[in-house]
Amino acid sequence: MGNTNSGREQEIMSLLRDNIRNIVPYSTARDDCKVKMDIYLDANENPFDSGVNRYPSPHQPRLKNMLSALKKVPAENIFLGNGSDEPIDLIFRLFCPPGQSSMVQAVPTYGMYSVAAAINDVRVINAPLTSDFELDAADLLSRVEPDTRLIFLCSPNNPSGNLLDIEGIVKILDAFEGITVVDEAYIDFAGSDSVIKLLDRYPRLIVLQTLSKAWGMAGLRIGMAIADRCIVDIMSRVKYPYNISVLNQEKAEEVLSDPLSAADRVEELVRERKKLAEALSGLPDVKEVYPSDANFLLVRFMDKDRAFAELMKSGIIVRDRSSAYGCDGCLRITVGTPEENDRVVAVLGGMPVKSGSPSLAAGRKASIFRKTGETAVCVRLDLDNFRPPRIASGLHFLNHMLEQIGYHAHIALDVVCYGDVDVDDHHSVEDVAIALGDCLYSALGDKAGTGRYGFSLPMDEADASVLLDLGGRIDFQWNVPLSGNCVGDVSAQMFEHFFKSLSEHLKCNLHIKAQGRNDHHIIEGVFKAFARALRQAVSRVPGGNDVPSSKGWL
Ligand code: PMP
């Protein structure tokens, strides 16, 4: 705004924390010596070439030049971080004296702003968006306090999906004397201009973008702050020197060199967003699908817990945003591939899912989602097709044991448990066993073609034997003396409880005996022997389709 360069710089300098203003950055000999050398003995690297034996460039010039061309801003206005989460944190560190400042955010919004504020001891002031998630600039400005250093706006907004009104943003930039951050993580899906064009007029504006979304590089962790060069300079001085690895820089350059393919995928996602929104709007359980300029939809359900559970049972995870301001009853659903979106609609519409679905396709497969006040457990299995197990129970030792079941029973087994392990392991162990038992029972169906029985095996100095009869009657016996209170992070007494709960829900006779000197070996032996017994019991008898009982049923 008619500001000279030094005027802009002074303005920004005056906003920085005192200790940051004159910070002396970590320097490298390569920074100090600008010419290319033949031999590099300055950084204590390993000289033998492995492709990654050298430190990466701390300034990422090639990557910045590519982004400069794509974003049409000079490279010196671009800061690159480890995801945009890094510049979010840096902005607090640059501008907010801990314990003496506040930030205002327009809610509901992306959760990292308040996490970064908490880490940096900055007070959070929430300014609500309207019931349609529109920006009310006057209301937001009225909440600014004397110690407010930052305003965070997210456009398109996460989780509501809509672009914020540009006039409101400009009003805030005109009135607020601190730093305004506009997070445009989803701007490429919006088909409208970035606020980057406002940077010339507003030196106190920082625009965040990321390679995680439209560019499909979330795994690389590369985010951008686009801002006045003075802000970019200071951020670069405060960041860790080598914040983006050699491999990540190279891979990002490779993907950025094919912007047309990326643009095609964005177009496809935008088409899919429209299709998905229309299909969801037509479902009886859906109250409202909010208009989206991003790659996700905020959807309000009549019963969001039921919708969430149905999706989870079918192996689909979405984000429950119902606790965010103004989002009660809402799930946030990312736009996936056309097939994934069809499945979401089919599951929520209560229609049979096409074959290929893990939950309903023919064969001995099943999935269970079980939620209580203490845990939410999802188990999926396929008795006829082995695939390496995918286990996340929240307990390391239980993970290891459940993996044994998958491998040694030779079945596909996925278990995810979100449990109250901060209290103790009891509910997670018990509820995983219950869900696993129910799921096995349901996958077995009428048990036609299956055998029954047991297995013993040595496990180093220990030995374990498991007898298993899937006949439908429950009898549980446990003779497994353990000497310690815990095995790994699981209480010793919970193993008996695990198998007891499992036998009750699988409706089986389960007799387990084991002995040894090392508790880990004993329990591992038990899980392996159980898995082997299960493998025998569920294996299809060659040529047999009958039920293995003289009664003709089990
Ligand atoms: N901003 C918003 C609004 C986001 O939703 C996200 C990620 N979900 C981020 C920033 C972080 O992105 P990155 O992967 O670049 O850290």
The alpha carbon of 263 and the centre of ligand 1 are apart by a number of angstroms equal to 19
Residue 13: how many other CB atoms lie within 10 Å: 14
Half-sphere exposure of 376 (CA within 13 A, CB side): 8
Q: Would you list the DSSP string of 479-528?
A: E---SSSEETTEETHHHHHHHHHHHHHHT-EEEEEEE-S-HHHHHHHHHH
Q: Which is the closest atom of ligand 1 to the Cα of 213? A: 14
Residue 251: how many other CB atoms lie within 10 Å: 16
**DSSP single-letter state for residue 83:** B
The alpha carbon of 210 and the centre of ligand 1 are apart by a number of angstroms equal to 7
Which one of 82, 88, 212 would you pick to mutate in the ligand 1 pocket, going by the greatest count of ligand atoms within 8 A of its CB? 212
Separation of CA 461 from chain center: 41
What distances in angstroms separate CA 124 from CA 11, 65, 107, 143, 325, one per listed residue?
Answer: 24, 36, 11, 11, 14
Q: At what angle do helices 519-538 and 493-506 cross, to 10 degrees?
A: 10
Question: Residue 176: what are its φ and ψ, rounded to 5°?
Answer: -90, 130
* Ligand 1 pocket at CB < 6 A: 83-85, 110, 154, 158, 183, 185, 210, 212, 218, 223
Which one of 158, 222, 295 would you pick to mutate in the ligand 1 pocket, going by the greatest count of ligand atoms within 8 A of its CB? 158
The alpha carbon of 83 and the centre of ligand 1 are apart by a number of angstroms equal to 7
CB 12 within 8 A of CB 203: yes
The alpha carbon of 296 and the centre of ligand 1 are apart by a number of angstroms equal to 13
The alpha carbon of 160 and the centre of ligand 1 are apart by a number of angstroms equal to 14
What distances in angstroms separate CA 297 from CA 276, 294, 497, one per listed residue?
Answer: 9, 8, 42
Nearest to 372 by CA among 334, 331, 414, 426: 426
The alpha carbon of 135 and the centre of ligand 1 are apart by a number of angstroms equal to 20
Q: Which is the closest atom of ligand 1 to the Cα of 186? A: 3
Q: Would you list the DSSP string of 204-248?
A: TEEEEEESSSTT--GGG-EEEEEE-HHHHHHHHHHS-TT-S-HHH
The alpha carbon of 89 and the centre of ligand 1 are apart by a number of angstroms equal to 12
Q: Which is the closest atom of ligand 1 to the Cα of 222? A: 15
Which one of 67, 84, 90, 208 would you pick to mutate in the ligand 1 pocket, going by the greatest count of ligand atoms within 8 A of its CB? 84
What is the rounded distance in angstroms from the CA atom of residue 255 to the CA atom of residue 373? Answer: 44
Checking 31-39 for CB contacts under 8 A at 24+ apart, the result is 31/58
Q: Which is the closest atom of ligand 1 to the Cα of 86? A: 16
Checking 264-271 for CB contacts under 8 A at 24+ apart, the result is 265/214, 265/216, 266/188, 266/189, 266/214, 269/189, 269/295, 269/335, 270/189, 270/191
Q: Would you list the DSSP string of 279-328?
A: HHHTSTTEEEE---SSSEEEEEESSHHHHHHHHHHTT---EE-TTSTT-T
Which one of 78, 85, 226 would you pick to mutate in the ligand 1 pocket, going by the greatest count of ligand atoms within 8 A of its CB? 85
- Proportion of the chain in helix, strand, coil states, percent, rounded to 5: 40, 20, 40
What is the rounded distance in angstroms from the CA atom of residue 524 to the CA atom of residue 528? Answer: 6
Q: Give the CA radius of gyration of the chain.
A: 29
Q: Is 39 helix (H, G, I), strand (E, B) or coil?
A: coil
CB 200 within 8 A of CB 227: no
What distances in angstroms separate CA 506 from CA 18, 221, 424, 433, 470, one per listed residue?
Answer: 66, 44, 25, 9, 8
CB 84 within 8 A of CB 210: yes
Whether the predicted model's global pTM rises above the 0.85 cut = no
Helical residues (DSSP H) of 111-224, grouped into ranges: 112-119, 137-142, 166-175
The alpha carbon of 315 and the centre of ligand 1 are apart by a number of angstroms equal to 24
Identity at 464, one-letter amino acid code? A
The alpha carbon of 84 and the centre of ligand 1 are apart by a number of angstroms equal to 6
What distances in angstroms separate CA 474 from CA 508, 533, 550, one per listed residue?
Answer: 5, 16, 19
What is the rounded distance in angstroms from the CA atom of residue 496 to the CA atom of residue 513? Answer: 11
**Tokens of residue 28, six digits:** 């490298």
Which one of 86, 107, 110, 157 would you pick to mutate in the ligand 1 pocket, going by the greatest count of ligand atoms within 8 A of its CB? 110
Residue partners of 197: CB distance under 8 A and separation at least 6: none
User: Pairing mode, if any, of strands 365-371 and 375-382?
Assistant: antiparallel
What is the rounded distance in angstroms from the CA atom of residue 96 to the CA atom of residue 208? Answer: 18
**Tokens of residue 151, six digits:** 């305003």
The alpha carbon of 85 and the centre of ligand 1 are apart by a number of angstroms equal to 7
Q: What is the full per-residue pLDDT of the chain (554 aa) written as tens digits?
A: 444 577 889 999 999 999 999 898 888 877 777 778 899 999 999 999 999 999 999 999 999 999 999 999 999 999 999 999 999 999 999 999 999 999 999 999 999 999 999 999 999 999 999 999 999 999 999 999 999 999 999 999 999 999 999 999 999 999 999 999 999 999 999 989 999 999 999 999 999 999 999 999 999 999 999 999 999 999 999 999 999 999 999 999 999 998 888 999 999 999 999 999 999 999 999 999 999 999 999 999 999 999 999 999 899 999 999 999 999 999 999 999 999 999 999 999 885 444 333 333 347 888 888 888 888 888 889 898 898 888 888 899 999 999 999 999 999 998 888 888 889 999 999 999 999 999 999 888 877 656 567 788 898 899 999 999 888 889 999 999 999 999 999 999 999 999 999 999 999 999 999 999 999 999 999 999 999 999 988 887 655 555 555 554 44
Look at ligand 1, atom 1, and give the residue with the nearest C-alpha: 185
Look at ligand 1, atom 8, and give the residue with the nearest C-alpha: 110
Look at ligand 1, atom 2, and give the residue with the nearest C-alpha: 185
Identity at 250, one-letter amino acid code? E
Strand partners, 222: 82, 83
What is the rounded distance in angstroms from the CA atom of residue 83 to the CA atom of residue 197? Answer: 22
Q: What is the pLDDT of residue 361?
A: 36
The alpha carbon of 244 and the centre of ligand 1 are apart by a number of angstroms equal to 17
